[in-house]
Amino acid sequence: MAGEQGQGNGARSPRRRIVVGVDRSPGSRRALRHAVAEALRRGADVEVIATFSAALPWTSGSLVPDPERLHRETLARTEDFVAAVGAELATVPAITVDVVEGPAADVLLQRAAGAELLVVGRHGHGAVRTALIGSVALRCLGHAAGPVEVVPLEDAAAPTGAVPRVVVGVDGSPESRAALATAVQEAGRLGAEVDVVAVCEGSGEWNDLATTVVPSYAGVRADVQRGAAAMVEAVLAGVERPVRARIDVVDGSPSDVLVERARGAALLVLGNHGRSGLGGRFLGSVALRCAVAAPCPVLLVPARERAPQEGRAAHPVDAA
């Protein structure tokens, strides 16, 4: 492990990077362990980022904080924190530690540029919090240009002996196609199956007049099934490592269904459906709900992210 003594202006490593934000909380400890595991699977380095603010509240007669001292103290504490986590693990990748003055979310978004992944914990020491997700994680999810993974403090345990599952929500959009491609890639790394979930909203209760004006609910559900199957076939045709995918069309609210299906899963993957706006994207409501409530890590993928196409192979697809 190497500590970078600069204020964030040092040269960047050309190697593949996973960036993780830490504040020495239990949530960031979990995020760091997860980032290390991801880096080992990907052959990447881990870049640990901690931040501090010299603009502390003070009153007349109080000493103005010394930025250099704050930097040294934060770096020392963060290096000790990272070393303690590393001592708990059998193998660790190359890890660098950098401490930067500034707002945590802004620093992480800047440092995540060009990285394979930004990892944040669900619980952090943000000045403003929603009920279950820290403000730093929330801002990173809504504004990052690359993939962001939110790690809960604890995962719901998978059944003993069960094959690992990667759950992905699809709806026919380019964003969900990008999410599916990423889910297939992640499943290959984890030796997991892909649980493809398409949600069909509506009660299924139609009267005779409704069926003469709009397609029947059964017809809409069949269209959703066909669309999901076609998307899965197209994505699986472009990857080399065999991956088993199961397609399930489920009635209900998308966020509720996905949160439930993520129970015991290794990962939940979603596309970012947020709209572009001044200062970044707005986080979609389904992604936000899943990031807050899912009992497993949640990976949010921008539409431009695509899993690399490595050749063609036959892949089993199951339709439920």
Find the range with the poorest average confidence among 62-66, 86-90, 108-112, 307-311.
307-311
Separation CA 59–CA 22 (nearest Å): 29
Q: Regarding the domain with residue range 2-151, which homologous superfamily does it belong to in the CATH classification?
A: HUPs (3.40.50.620)
Position 66 scores a pLDDT of 83
In this structure, of 49-53, 289-293, 301-305, the range with the lowest mean pLDDT score is: 301-305
The answer to which of 13-22, 36-45, 167-176 has the lowest mean pLDDT is: 13-22
- How far, in Å, are 174, 184, 200, 315, 320 from residue 171 at the CA level? 9, 16, 9, 21, 16
Architecture of domain 165-319: 3-Layer(aba) Sandwich (3.40)
Average pLDDT rounded to a whole number, residues 171-191: 93
- Residue 138 pLDDT: 87
Name the nearest CA neighbour of 269 among 122, 164, 166: 166
Q: Residue 105: pLDDT band by 50, 70, 90 thresholds?
A: very high
Please tell me the distance from the alpha carbon of residue 139 to that of residue 134, in angstroms, as a whole number: 9
| Parts of the chain belonging to CATH 3.40.50.620 | 2-151, 165-319
pLDDT at 311 over 60: no
> Given a cut of 90, is residue 315 above it in pLDDT?
no
pLDDT digits (tens, 9 = 90+) for 29-60: 999 999 999 999 999 999 999 999 877 565 55
Strands 280-281 and 276-277, sheet pairing: antiparallel
Q: How far, in Å, CA of 289 to CA of 292, rounded?
A: 5
Give the HSE-up count for residue 245: Cα atoms under 13 Å, Cβ half-sphere.
31
State yes or no: pLDDT of 87 exceeds 50.
yes
State the chain's mean pLDDT as an integer.
82
Considering only residues 59 and 216, tell me which one the structure prediction assigns the higher pLDDT.
216
Instruction: Give the pLDDT of residue 170.
Output: 94
Report the alpha-carbon distance of residue 297 to residue 264 in Å, rounded.
11
Q: In terms of C-beta density within 10 A (0-12 exposed, 13-18 middle, 19 or more buried), how is residue 222 classed?
A: middle
How far, in Å, CA of 144 to CA of 112, rounded?
Answer: 8
Q: Which position has the higher pLDDT, 120 or 67?
A: 120
SS (H, E, C) the chain: CEEECCCCCCCCCCCCEEEEECCCCHHHHHHHHHHHHHHHHHCCEEEEEEEECCCCCCCCCCCCCCHHHHHHHHHHHHHHHHHHHHHCCCCCCCEEEEEEECCHHHHHHHHCCCCCEEEEECCCCCCCECCCCEHHHHHHHHHCCCCEEEECCCCCCCCCCCCCEEEEEECCCHHHHHHHHHHHHHHHHHCCEEEEEEEECCCCCCCHHHHHHCCCHHHHHHHHHHHHHHHHHHHHCCCCCCCCEEEEEEECCHHHHHHHHCCCCCEEEEECCCCEECCEECCCHHHHHHHHHCCCCEEEECCCCCCCCCCCCCCCEEEC
Pick 205 or 262 by higher pLDDT.
262
Residue range 237-247: average pLDDT? 89
Residue 153 has a pLDDT of 86
- pLDDT value at 102 more than 80: yes
